[in-house]
Structure formats: structure tokens, C-alpha cells
Amino acid sequence: MSRIPVVGGGGIDPSNMGLTLFHEHLRITTEVIRWNWPHLYNEDEELRSAINAVNAAKRFGVKTIIDLTVAGIGRDVKFDEKVARATGINIIMGTGFYTYTEIPFYFRNRGLESLVNAFVHDITVGIQGTNTKAAFVKAVIDSPGLTRDVEMAIRAAARAHVKTGVPIITHSFAGNKSSLELIRIFKEEGVDLSRTVIGHVGDSDDILFIEQILREGVFVGLDRFGLDLYLPLEKRVRTTIELIRRGWVDQILLSHDYCPTIDWYPPEVIRNTVPSWSMTLIFEEVIPRLRSEGVTQEQINKILVDNPRRLFSSRP
């Protein structure tokens, strides 16, 4: 079985991932703002927040955290290295380009293959000049749907997967069924759908639509527990229980999409809007609710241990 690269170089066997949060962030920051106005940022405070969040998850037995921060939202391998060193947890990083609309002229004017090559470089050589390799590729689609550039970034992610065998983890928008566009493009590009995650599906509680996605053989991300502004916790819990009851336990992944720092809003707005959002809410609130409704510990282990391992286990 091939090893999964982790932050700091080297790798782990998929069987050693253990309890895994498959979609979190250590820090989201806007590159163009940070580059030009560094005085607006406090790196020490950001580092403290990230270390505190990861240590809190670690106290619940989490062994591996997958950081979905890619280009466009401030991926910074040096920052993740500091968190990995301070906490001793496995941190897995990826490649991809995060955009809802456009990609930079650099790639747009050079074409699709230039973006594929950049992703493959991260996977085979390392991220940002380090020997930390990308372990997955991310694809993103949101409310504007499939713009020309968004399609280019999704196809580039698909081709990087086909070339290297790394899994694809996605961001989709529940409001416009954009997940179906992801699946359509993945099929056109010859992607192994069993090694993809359609992310943020749990922002909807439309069970029939979620089942339509699941029937494609993908994993679905119920991955924003605590982001009550998109869907309240109780509805997320009910959706999770219903999908397990209907037999989809092998294709569900849980996470928070938590960001200890995100510069998109002033910090107090985030504290007031999503006060319970954290990297531990699943352990504090969700699992006890699932257990009280008859979900077994074995099923919970499947979702939090076995499914991430299977996502990252390449087949011969």
C-alpha cells in the first residue's frame, strides 16, 4: 500500500491515519491582501489559534487532520509545518486552485496543461519549494456555477488525479446542485469516482438528492458541522442518521470545515454568527447524538477511521 505524504516530509501508511478529520483548515488568508498589507495580520496569534484548535481535536483522539487550504486561500506549508511540529499530529496538505469565478491570468493565458503541471509538481516534487508533497487535489465550484475558469480548474484537478492517483476532495455549493457538474466532468476525464469526495453536500438535507450523488459511488462530505448559517446542527445530525439508516455508512465522511483564522470577515462577526463552530463539535455534540439514536460505535469508526483510509488507499 502506498504511503501518504504528511507535512514535514515523509509519509504514513493509510492504516496509520487513525481518527481523521478529512476537511479542516489551519488558516484561511487572502494572498493578495497579505502580500500587500502584511500589517493587517498577526502571524503569532494565527499560529496560536491553529495549534489550540488542533490540540483540542487531539484530546478527542484525532490522529490526522487534512488541511483543505490550497492556492487562492493562502496555503502555506511553512505555517502547517509549525503546527505539525507543535502538536505532533499528522497534517496532510493538498494542491488545487480555489476560485468561484476566475483563475489568474498566469494560468488562463497558458492553458489547462499549465495548471495540471503545477498540481502534479506539488504531488510529485513538493509544495512551495519544500519536500512536503501534496496528498490530494481539490476542486471547487460554488454559487456562480461552472464558469470557464472554474471548469478549467476542475478539469486540471481531474487530470492531476488521473496522472498521479491521488484522491480528489471537492467544495460544492448545495444551492445549485453544482455537485452534479463535478461528477459529470470527472466522468469525462476518466476519474475513479470511488476516490473522490463531493464536499459540503451536508449543507442540504434533501435526502433524495444526496442519495442521487451517493449512487455515483463517491464519498459525500457532511463536513460543516457548526456552520449553522448554512444548515443548523440538528438538521445536519438528522441527515447523517437517516443516511446511515439507509445503508450509506461506507460513503459518508464527517468534518467541520473549521478555520481557526479566516480573514474574509472581522473575527467578531465569525464569533457572533457561528459561535459553536470548532474542530471538536463532532465529538462533543454530534457523536453523542448519533449514539443515542442507535448508531453503533462500529459505524462511527467506519466513518471517521475506515472511510478516510479507503479514500487515500490507492488500488493496484
Residues that bind Zn ion (CB under 5 A): 68, 257
**Least distance CB 151 / Zn ion (angstroms):** 20
Q: Which is nearer to Zn ion, 68 or 152 (CB)?
A: 68
Using left for φ > 0, alpha for ψ between -120 and 50, and beta otherwise, residue 7 falls in beta
DSSP bridge pairs for 137: 95, 168
Amino acid at 220: V
Half-sphere exposure of 82 (CA within 13 A, CB side): 15
Q: Which is nearer to Zn ion, 122 or 257 (CB)?
A: 257
11-12 and 4-5 as β-strands: parallel, antiparallel, unpaired? Answer: antiparallel
Q: Which is nearer to Zn ion, 76 or 257 (CB)?
A: 257
**Least distance CB 96 / Zn ion (angstroms):** 11
Amino acid at 180: L
Main-chain dihedrals φ then ψ at residue 82, nearest 5 degrees: -65, -40
**Least distance CB 225 / Zn ion (angstroms):** 13
Alpha-carbon torsion angle 240, 245, 249, 254, nearest 10:
10
Q: Which is nearer to Zn ion, 257 or 263 (CB)?
A: 257
Give the strands of the sheet with 90-92, arranged side by side. 20-24, 64-67, 90-92
Q: Which is nearer to Zn ion, 68 or 174 (CB)?
A: 68
**Least distance CB 10 / Zn ion (angstroms):** 25
**Least distance CB 171 / Zn ion (angstroms):** 6
Asked if 95 and 126 touch (Cβ cutoff 8 Å), the reply is no
